């Protein structure tokens, strides 16, 4: 079929060039200007009308960042000299192109043509031929192998080698792979078996893992809009490790519960789904983030069941009325090193000094919250980190300076024992890297 020409005598833009150009802009911001992937996607995706284009942009960005070391190895091998700083947008576009070929395995002809056209849309017409040549080479030869650990900063790789020498290869491999989609069924609207049947009717395959009463794990990820009843609050997206927190905290009926760092609200919602009688207070120091908690609870029909307050958990004098809590969840700010597969830009932005500051903040919040816990009450300390300074060592130091704190081991199904807590590494049981410790306040 002949190519149809436009009135100006030029070929029409390749279909799909706009989302490729947008993905390249996002990657350029994340790779070269220190921007957050989550924030860039949140700002950019609403500019696309087609939900399929939004899904494509998101998939390209995540795949490109997870495989960054491999794509840089390809450019180093195939280019006569490294790209100059002025060509960083080109690097981002090439990463987006490589991601479409491997691992996304999109139809090669369309992916290459659209990415070449995206080069023109980005004002890089003079480099469109180079983009075409490199992507065609990747199509013919495949991308060269590279050590995925090369994407990890030296300081972090050395810590992992020291703390998890037998697991570092598995940690790196799991962190470079797409995460499965875990769902949490809202038991106020129905049980897990009933919702699994709804998924089956929609042609979505799911498994029901043992030991997680509300969890389903999908064989393949789908947009949340495709999940039956999502908008009506029938189900939420939440990793299996995060779902275990409700079991470990296990507040009694009608108990006073504090979620001290609540955003985005998934764990608070899970607690309320399980027990409507809880008197739950959700804090967050950031008003915008607390707004996300309200949105989460509102979608699930739980907004009236929680008290939300913008407050600094480390300064109870500013918000605590003196009534002690029966249970406290401290899902502490952390390095996010256990969820690199969900936040691959962590490897670009995290610094060793960040961890030092986070460890100090975690200790300060632990010490500040402990007096607000009633004698006999339980505090669960949790992070999505795999660094012992934030986890096992942090809790051990707290126990050493807090005479009325005792550890209660929740058991093997919550992860491998590590000091006073339980640690999951990325991919353990298909879950995220996650640490938790259950602490009882004794008289």
Structure confidence by residue, pLDDT tens digits, 153-162: 999 999 999 9
Answer yes or no: is 81 within a domain.
yes
User: How many CB atoms neighbour CB 126 within 10 A?
Assistant: 9
Q: What percent of the chain has pLDDT over 90?
A: 94
The two structure tokens encoding residue 223: 């947009």
Instruction: Tell me, yes or no, whether 248 and 222 share the same domain.
Output: no
Residue 65: which CATH number? 1.10.940.10
Instruction: Inform me whether the pLDDT recorded for 359 exceeds 80.
Output: yes
Instruction: Inform me whether the pLDDT recorded for 345 exceeds 60.
Output: yes
pLDDT band at 14 (very low <50, low <70, confident <90, very high): low
**For residues 293 and 273, what is the distance between their CA atoms, to the nearest angstrom?**
14
Answer yes or no: is 175 within a domain.
no
Answer yes or no: is 152 within a domain.
no
Instruction: Tell me, yes or no, whether 233 and 244 share the same domain.
Output: no
Write down which residue in 129, 146, 163 finishes a domain. 146
Instruction: Tell me, yes or no, whether 256 and 214 share the same domain.
Output: no
Question: According to the model, what pLDDT value does residue 220 have?
Answer: 86
The two structure tokens encoding residue 48: 């696309």
- Residue 266, phi then psi, degrees to nearest 5: -65, -40
Question: According to the model, what pLDDT value does residue 283 have?
Answer: 97
Instruction: Tell me, yes or no, whether 430 and 352 share the same domain.
Output: yes
Question: According to the model, what pLDDT value does residue 310 have?
Answer: 97
**For residues 242 and 234, what is the distance between their CA atoms, to the nearest angstrom?**
18
Mean pLDDT of 68-73: 96
Active-site option among 61, 261, 334, 384: 384
Q: Read off the pLDDT of residues 302-335 as tens digits, 9 standing for 90 and up.
A: 999 999 999 999 999 999 999 999 999 999 999 9
- List alpha helices for 250-391, DSSP H: 266-274, 287-299, 346-349, 352-369
Mean pLDDT of 244-257: 97
Instruction: Inform me whether the pLDDT recorded for 9 exceeds 90.
Output: no
Mean pLDDT of 129-153: 95
Question: According to the model, what pLDDT value does residue 22 have?
Answer: 98
Instruction: Tell me, yes or no, whether 313 and 206 share the same domain.
Output: no
Instruction: Tell me, yes or no, whether 191 and 138 share the same domain.
Output: no
Instruction: Inform me whether the pLDDT recorded for 354 exceeds 50.
Output: yes
Contacts 24+ apart (CB under 8 A), 34-38: 34/348, 34/349, 36/345, 36/349, 37/61, 37/62, 37/65, 37/343, 37/344, 37/345, 38/343
Instruction: Tell me, yes or no, whether 111 and 21 share the same domain.
Output: yes
Measured CA to CA in angstroms, residue 177 lies from 57, 97, 150, 344, 426 at distances of 18, 18, 15, 10, 10
Answer yes or no: is 166 within a domain.
no
- Which structural domain, as residue segments, surrounds residue 339? 240-441
The most distant pair of C-alpha atoms in the chain lies apart, rounded to whole Å, by 84
Answer yes or no: is 195 within a domain.
yes
Residue 200: which CATH number? 3.30.70.1170
Mean pLDDT of 272-286: 97
Answer yes or no: is 199 within a domain.
yes
Q: Read off the pLDDT of residues 393-418 as tens digits, 9 standing for 90 and up.
A: 999 999 999 999 999 999 999 999 99
The two structure tokens encoding residue 90: 């080109």
Q: What percent of the chain has pLDDT over 70?
A: 97
Residue 312: which CATH number? 3.40.50.150
Instruction: Tell me, yes or no, whether 347 and 389 share the same domain.
Output: yes
Question: According to the model, what pLDDT value does residue 261 have?
Answer: 96
pLDDT band at 6 (very low <50, low <70, confident <90, very high): very low
User: How many CB atoms neighbour CB 140 within 10 A?
Assistant: 8
Instruction: Inform me whether the pLDDT recorded for 190 exceeds 60.
Output: yes
Mean pLDDT of the chain, nearest integer: 95
Instruction: Inform me whether the pLDDT recorded for 61 exceeds 50.
Output: yes
Instruction: Inform me whether the pLDDT recorded for 5 exceeds 90.
Output: no
User: Is 261 annotated as catalytic?
Assistant: no
Question: According to the model, what pLDDT value does residue 206 have?
Answer: 96
Instruction: Tell me, yes or no, whether 227 and 251 share the same domain.
Output: no
Mean pLDDT of 277-296: 96
Quote the radius of gyration of the chain (alpha carbons, Å).
Answer: 24
Instruction: Inform me whether the pLDDT recorded for 29 exceeds 50.
Output: yes
Write down which residue in 102, 123, 146 finishes a domain. 146
Question: According to the model, what pLDDT value does residue 11 have?
Answer: 43
Give the total number of structural domains in the chain: 3
pLDDT band at 135 (very low <50, low <70, confident <90, very high): very high
Instruction: Inform me whether the pLDDT recorded for 212 exceeds 50.
Output: yes
Mean pLDDT of 54-74: 96
Answer yes or no: is 233 within a domain.
yes
Q: Read off the pLDDT of residues 369-401 as tens digits, 9 standing for 90 and up.
A: 999 999 999 999 999 999 999 999 999 999 999
Instruction: Tell me, yes or no, whether 100 and 201 share the same domain.
Output: no
Instruction: Tell me, yes or no, whether 44 and 114 share the same domain.
Output: yes
Instruction: Tell me, yes or no, whether 285 and 432 share the same domain.
Output: yes
Write down which residue in 123, 146, 169 finishes a domain. 146
Instruction: Inform me whether the pLDDT recorded for 122 exceeds 60.
Output: yes
List 305's β-bridge partners, or say none: none
Residue 40 near residue 59, CB atoms below 8 Å: no
pLDDT band at 7 (very low <50, low <70, confident <90, very high): very low
Question: According to the model, what pLDDT value does residue 1 have?
Answer: 27
Answer yes or no: is 174 within a domain.
no
**Computed from CA positions of residues 153, 424, 291, 223, in that sequence, does the dihedral angle turn out positive or negative?**
positive
């Amino acid at each position: 079929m002949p190519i149809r020409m436009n009135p100006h005598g030029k070929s029409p833009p390749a279909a799909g060039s706009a989302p490729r150009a947008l993905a390249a802009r996002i990657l350029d911001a994340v790779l070269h200007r220190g921007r957050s992937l989550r924030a860039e996607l949140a700002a950019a995706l609403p500019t696309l009308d087609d939900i399929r284009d939004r899904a494509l942009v998101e998939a390209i960005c995540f795949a490109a960042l997870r495989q960054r070391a491999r794509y840089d190895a390809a450019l180093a091998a195939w280019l006569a000299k490294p790209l100059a700083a002025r060509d960083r947008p080109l690097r981002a576009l090439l990463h987006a192109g490589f991601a479409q070929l491997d691992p996304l395995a999109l139809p090669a002809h369309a992916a290459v043509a659209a990415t070449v056209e995206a080069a023109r849309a980005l004002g890089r017409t003079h480099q469109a031929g180079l983009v075409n040549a490199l992507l065609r080479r990747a199509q013919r030869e495949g991308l060269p192998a590279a050590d995925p650990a090369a994407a990890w900063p030296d300081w972090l790789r050395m810590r992992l080698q020291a703390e998890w020498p037998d697991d570092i290869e598995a940690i790196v491999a799991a962190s470079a792979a797409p995460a499965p989609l875990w769902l949490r069924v809202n038991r106020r609207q129905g049980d897990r078996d009933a919702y699994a049947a709804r998924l089956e009717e929609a042609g979505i395959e799911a498994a029901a893992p043992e030991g997680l009463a509300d969890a389903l794990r999908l064989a393949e990820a789908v947009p949340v809009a495709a999940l039956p009843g999502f908008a009506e609050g029938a189900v939420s997206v939440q990793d299996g490790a995060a779902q275990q927190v409700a079991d470990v905290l296990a507040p009694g009926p009608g108990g006073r519960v504090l979620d001290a760092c609540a955003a985005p609200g998934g764990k608070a919602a899970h607690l309320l789904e399980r027990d409507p009688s809880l008197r739950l207070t959700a804090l967050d120091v950031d008003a915008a983030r607390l707004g996300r908690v309200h949105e989460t609870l509102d979608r699930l029909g739980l907004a009236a069941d929680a008290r939300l307050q913008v407050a600094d958990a480390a300064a109870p004098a500013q918000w605590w009325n003196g009534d002690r809590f029966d249970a406290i969840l401290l899902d502490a700010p952390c390095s996010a090193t256990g969820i690199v597969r969900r936040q691959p830009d962590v490897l670009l932005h995290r610094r060793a000094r960040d961890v030092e500051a986070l460890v100090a903040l975690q200790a300060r919040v632990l010490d500040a919250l402990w007096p607000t816990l009633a004698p006999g009450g339980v505090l669960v300390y949790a992070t999505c980190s795999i660094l012992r300074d934030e986890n096992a060592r942090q809790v051990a130091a707290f126990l050493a300076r807090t005479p009325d704190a005792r550890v209660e081991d929740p058991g093997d199904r919550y992860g491998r024992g590590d000091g006073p807590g339980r640690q999951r590494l990325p991919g353990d049981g298909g879950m995220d890297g996650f640490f938790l410790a259950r602490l009882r306040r004794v008289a």
